[in-house]
Amino acid sequence: MRYQLLGKSGLRVSELCLGTMTFGDTWGWGASKEVSRQMFDLFAEAGGNYIDSSVNYTDGTAETLLGEFLQGRRDQFVVTTKYTLTKPDSTDPNSGGNSRKNMMKSVERSLKHLQTESIDVYYLHMWDYMTPVEEVMRGLDDLVAQGKIQYVAISDSPAYIVSAANMLAELRGWARFVGLQVPYSLLSRSIERELLPMSRYWDMAVMPWGLLNGGVLTGKFLTEVSEPTRVNPEHLKLSEQAMSIVKEVQAIAQECERPMSQVAINWVRQQTHKAQIIPIIGARSVTQLQDNLAVLDWSLTPEQLDRLEKVSAIDMGFPYGFNYGNPYAYGKTFAKIDNHHRGQILKY
């Protein structure tokens, strides 16, 4: 495992992050405590030090198990967790959301679960479209000042909110977001329109989740599956393009003599020209995690990347394609334009 700085910070993290949403079987499809520990140990033995969790994963079981596994070696790991979401059956209107009240309650609960004095990276889990941005950023900065968290990050939120929050933090001297967690895969590339360019602009690390789309990109749903899954059966009715993507992943996997899952993960892992990418890998068994970690042993060729890029291409929409083309080609485009022509383009 190699290491890199987490966005605009001095924090050193492994090139893969271990997701713990499968720690505990409270939700009916996760891993037992014993298997969860084995996966944690396997990740650590591979050199992984970056762990992702949430106060709500498996109703708190994930954090509790992680807290147990960290005992005696807490300082060796970069531990992240999140706040925001609430249980569907909650009758307390303040038990979820981005408010300072829920933030402060949640961080104390996470610290207790994790049996630690400080959380390395604390995420806002999902934007609630109600709480003022300044309330969120001031609250997070207060937690940093109190030493309860070290860095702040955000997950599953629109680009305009993240940018506004970072600018507010810059102007007021508060802690700004160093990372963004979003879904990203060959079947889900919409974040390339705004979120990835925004992350690159703000020097934020991107932690993609859902790399396999609930297992669709492993090919297992090409035939009937009886095992428990969190994928809605309705979502398995693949479009013509989606089926083409899965078939191309399957073809490349056969060429490389590697599982389809590794092809799909490596495609995400190799999108470093779009942003700093640190994939979150999750598993329900030691075997699955071993397969996922094996992506570090090889890479897709430029020709294979090109095939996957073409088959999974999306419409970038406006303003991309209007004058300048793909946002990731800006630098290359302008490098070929002399000052005269550049002036004409800007004048237009």
Answer with the residue of higher pLDDT: 252 or 320: 252
Q: Please check whether residues 252 and 324 belong to one and the same domain.
A: no
**Is the Cβ–Cβ distance between 216 and 246 less than 8 Å?**
yes
Residue 274 shares a structural domain with residue 196: yes
End-to-end CA distance of the chain: 49
Q: What is the mean pLDDT of residues 158-182?
A: 98
Whether 136 and 147 share a structural domain: yes
Strand ranges (E), the chain:
3-5, 12-14, 17-19, 50-52, 78-83, 119-124, 149-155, 177-183, 205-209, 276-277, 280-281
Q: Look up residue 235 and give its two tokens.
A: 């979502």
Residue 175's CATH number = 3.20.20.100
Instruction: Please indicate, yes or no, whether residues 111 and 27 belong to a single structural domain of this protein.
Output: yes
If asked whether residues 62 and 83 sit together in one domain, one would say yes
Beta pairing class for 205-209 and 12-14: unpaired
Number of neighbours of residue 62 by Cβ within 10 angstroms? 27
Give the tens place of pLDDT for each residue, 200-216.
999 999 999 999 998 99
Alpha-carbon span 170 to 147, nearest angstrom: 20
Please tell me which residue in 57, 122, 151, 184 is annotated as part of the active site.
57
For residue 57, indicate whether it is catalytic: yes
Q: What mean pLDDT comes out for the span 156-168?
A: 98
Same domain membership, residue 129 and residue 153: yes
What's the number of domains the chain is made of?
Answer: 2
Tell which residue, 151, 204, 150, has the closest CA to residue 182.
Answer: 204
CB 281 within 8 A of CB 293: yes
Average pLDDT of every residue of the chain: 91
Residues 158 and 186 in one domain: yes
Q: What is the pLDDT of residue 345?
A: 40
**DSSP state, 56?**
T
Q: What's the confidence (pLDDT) of residue 288?
A: 95
Residues 307 and 327 in one domain: no
Q: Please tell me whether residues 165 and 201 are part of one structural domain.
A: yes
> In this structure, what token pair is assigned to residue 153?
């990050």
Beta bridge partners of 23: 31
What single DSSP character describes residue 85? -
Global confidence as pTM: 0.89
Domain range enclosing 347: 315-348
| pLDDT tens profile 53-97 | 999 999 999 999 999 999 999 999 999 999 998 877 889 999 999
Using alpha carbons, select from 68, 81, 13, 12 the residue that is nearest to residue 40: 68
Residue with tokens 């949640």: 106
| Residue 284 and residue 333 share a domain | no
Q: Are residues 195 and 298 in the same domain?
A: yes
**Does residue 169 share a domain with residue 301?**
yes
> Alpha carbon of 115 to those of 70, 107, 110: distances in Å?
8, 12, 8
Helix (H, G, I), strand (E, B) or coil at 191: helix
